[in-house]
């Protein structure tokens, strides 16, 4: 089914935005990217708030439908534009596992935010140290998942992998993914970065945010 004017509003560095970009590229969706100038407050303009009262990115507009929240956008795009794709399996049990991992990814992103905000905005070393164990805990759980199957939600690559990929690539770029501590994650990440033909859509944003965090950590003396 061809897309009719799908607009995605976002920024380059955001992992949830990049998860949506990865999914859209994976299914060959011809969408229009609209960069949101967060510093200028564009996400709080009357026009944006009409689409998404929560003033968050990514935000999607498809005809009369406006959606916030990356997981809702991802599953909508799959259901509408790629309903037969193995990226979002139809089997109830397999789909439930993918959905569960998408929920896990929301928690993973929250723990990454717990690192990004004290490092880039609050310049607070103690807050960084306090929040770092939660990120490690989520990476430990992901390592466990990848010990049970080749990919995040089973043997095949799914949208759960693409969502987690956007987050973990950021952790890697920030210098926080220790190969010895999380060897399965490291191997999975390298494989997808190498094998996915559309991975390039994630590269610049992951490096941009990750390197900023890496620099911020060094400046804090952590």
| CB of 160 closer than 8 Å to CB of 101 | yes
Residue among 148, 152, 160, 158 at smallest CA distance from 188: 152
Active site (annotated) includes residue 14:
yes
Q: Catalytic: which of 14, 111, 169, 186? A: 14
List the strands of the sheet with 32-35, edge to edge.
32-35, 6-10, 59-62, 65-68
| CB of 112 closer than 8 Å to CB of 15 | yes
Tell me the two tokens of residue 62: 């498809």
The catalytic residue positions are 14
């Amino acid at each position: 089914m061809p897309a009719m004017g799908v607009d995605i509003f976002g920024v380059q560095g955001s992992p949830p935005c990049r998860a949506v970009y990865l999914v859209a590229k994976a299914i060959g969706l011809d969408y229009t990217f609209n960069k949101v100038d967060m510093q200028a407050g564009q996400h709080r303009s009357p026009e944006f708030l009409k689409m998404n009262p929560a003033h968050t990115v990514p935000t999607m507009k498809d005809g009369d439908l406006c959606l916030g929240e990356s997981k809702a956008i991802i599953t909508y795009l799959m259901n509408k534009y790629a309903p037969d794709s193995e990226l979002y399996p139809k089997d109830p049990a397999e789909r439930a596992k993918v959905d569960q991992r998408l929920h896990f990814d929301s928690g993973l992103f929250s723990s990454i935010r717990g690192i990004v905000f004290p490092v880039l905005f609050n310049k607070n070393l103690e807050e960084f140290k306090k929040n770092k164990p939660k990120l490690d805990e989520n990476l430990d759980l992901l390592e466990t998942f990848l010990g049970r199957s080749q990919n995040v939600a089973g043997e095949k690559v799914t949208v759960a992998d693409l969502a987690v990929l956007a987050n973990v690539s950021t952790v890697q770029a920030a210098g926080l993914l220790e190969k010895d501590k999380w060897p399965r994650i490291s191997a999975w990440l390298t494989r997808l970065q190498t094998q996915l033909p559309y991975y390039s859509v994630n590269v610049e944003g992951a490096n941009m945010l990750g390197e900023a965090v890496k620099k911020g950590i060094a400046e804090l003396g952590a």
